[in-house]
């Protein structure tokens, strides 16, 4: 994923995603693929990285290292055009089409629409008037069935919307919120699908917006690239040490492998 490191204090985008966990990165993948300039603000570590082994996400029969999986989600969002902004969102003001987010380092980001996926931080949403339910130390934002809040242009995805604390649920809800945003933005968008050559055109139809037809040569090229990419991901053990809950260890980032020689990531 491309890091936004310009000297400008302000960045403009179509979509600001607050939170670089499973739901936020999945939402960003869909909005970026639809042609919306998407910035992901990510500074806090996703809880996913504390897992010892992720065993219930579809498509990984023997499970997958959760830190590797988190990296793959980040890379996929970047491959599809999303950009990364380091830090956290401290304040959010404005209305649909002209939201202004203030980041932890003082930079501001303007955005037409916002996806909040920052479990468990919802404080920056207080000034917008979204409906928030306090539950002890946790805060949840009320949404409709597809991720919209009561404020136009603001969407919430994943655990912050009180969805089940499972990676596959977070991914699904992130996708749903992202697609809903694309629909509301009135982007010409049928659905995101790569079809075989002739699937539409051989029936006398134009290829719908959001879809693509590819011939056998291009299909084989993409398949070969995907196999090689997956081999590279799984060639060596992941280089980020195991984490646990920060309250259980002195290390503020929750490291439990004291003798680890890999990347502190």
Count of structural domains, the chain: 2
Q: In this structure, is residue 39 part of a structural domain?
A: yes
241/146 Cα distance (integer angstroms): 36
- Counting residues of the chain whose pLDDT is more than 70, the rounded percentage is 90
Let me know if residue 232 belongs to a domain. yes
Residue 191 near residue 210 (C-beta atoms within 8 A): yes
pLDDT, tens digit, 9 for 90 and up, residues 155-202? 999 999 999 999 999 999 999 999 999 999 999 888 899 999 999 999
| CATH number of the structural domain spanning residue 75 | 3.50.50.60
Domain identity same for 126 and 199: no
Query: Residue 40 pLDDT > 70, yes or no?
Result: yes
Same domain membership, residue 224 and residue 108: no
Q: Are residues 168 and 202 in the same domain?
A: no
Of the chain, the end-to-end C-alpha distance in Å amounts to 15
Q: Identify whether 234 is part of a domain.
A: yes
- Closest Cα partner for 130 from 100, 173, 90, 95? 95
Are 95 and 163 within one domain?
yes
Do 94 and 27 belong together in one domain? yes
Number of CB atoms found within 10 A of residue 196's CB: 13
Copy the structure tokens of residue 70: 């988190």
Q: What is the pLDDT of residue 136?
A: 87
pLDDT band at 43 (very low <50, low <70, confident <90, very high): confident
**Inside any domain, residue 238:** yes
Residue 202, domain extent:
193-248
Flag whether pLDDT at 215 surpasses 80: yes
Mean pLDDT of the chain: 91
Evaluate whether residue 131 is within a structural domain: yes
Question: Per the domain annotation, does 5 fall within a domain?
Answer: no
Instruction: Say if residue 118 is in the same domain as residue 150.
Output: yes
- Integer Cα distance of 120 and 139 in angstroms: 7
DSSP 130: -
In the listed set 142, 163, 184, which residue is the last one of a domain according to the structure? 184
18-32 pLDDT, tens digit per residue, is 999 999 999 999 999
Q: What is the DSSP letter of 222?
A: H
137's CB contacts (< 8 A; 6+ apart) are 120
168 and 235 fall within a common domain: no
Higher pLDDT, 249 or 152: 152
Same domain, 18 and 147: yes
What are the angstrom distances between the C-alpha of 128 and each of 17, 95, 101? 16, 8, 12
Contact 154, 113 (CB under 8 A): yes
Question: Do 136 and 27 share a structural domain?
Answer: yes
pLDDT at 8 over 70: no
112 and 217 belong to one structural domain: no
User: Are 217 and 180 in a shared domain?
Assistant: no
Instruction: Please check whether residues 78 and 125 belong to one and the same domain.
Output: yes
């Amino acid at each position: 994923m491309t890091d936004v490191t310009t000297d400008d204090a302000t960045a403009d985008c179509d979509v600001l995603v607050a939170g670089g966990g499973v739901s936020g990165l999945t939402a960003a993948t869909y909005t970026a693929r639809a042609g919306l300039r998407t910035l992901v603000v990510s500074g806090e570590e996703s809880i996913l990285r504390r897992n010892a082994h992720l065993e219930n996400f579809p498509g990984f029969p023997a499970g997958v290292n959760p830190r590797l999986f988190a990296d793959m989600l980040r890379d996929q969002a970047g491959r599809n055009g999303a950009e990364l902004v380091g830090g956290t969102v401290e304040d959010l003001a404005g209305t649909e089409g002209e939201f202004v987010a203030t980041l932890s380092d003082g930079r501001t980001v303007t955005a037409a629409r916002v996806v909040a996926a920052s479990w468990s931080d919802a404080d920056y949403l207080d000034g917008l008037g979204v409906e928030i339910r306090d539950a002890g130390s946790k805060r949840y934002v009320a949404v409709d069935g597809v991720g919209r809040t009561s404020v136009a242009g603001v969407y919430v995805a994943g655990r912050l919307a009180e969805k089940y604390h499972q990676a596959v649920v977070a991914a699904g809800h992130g996708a749903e919120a992202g697609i809903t945003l694309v629909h509301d933005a009135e982007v010409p968008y049928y659905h995101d699908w790569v079809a075989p050559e002739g699937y539409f055109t051989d029936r006398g139809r134009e290829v719908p917006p959001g879809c693509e037809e590819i011939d056998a040569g291009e299909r084989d090229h993409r398949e070969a690239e995907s196999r090689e990419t997956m081999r590279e991901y799984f060639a060596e053990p992941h280089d980020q040490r195991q984490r646990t809950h920060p309250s259980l260890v002195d290390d503020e980032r929750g490291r439990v492998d004291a003798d680890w020689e890999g990347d502190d990531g």
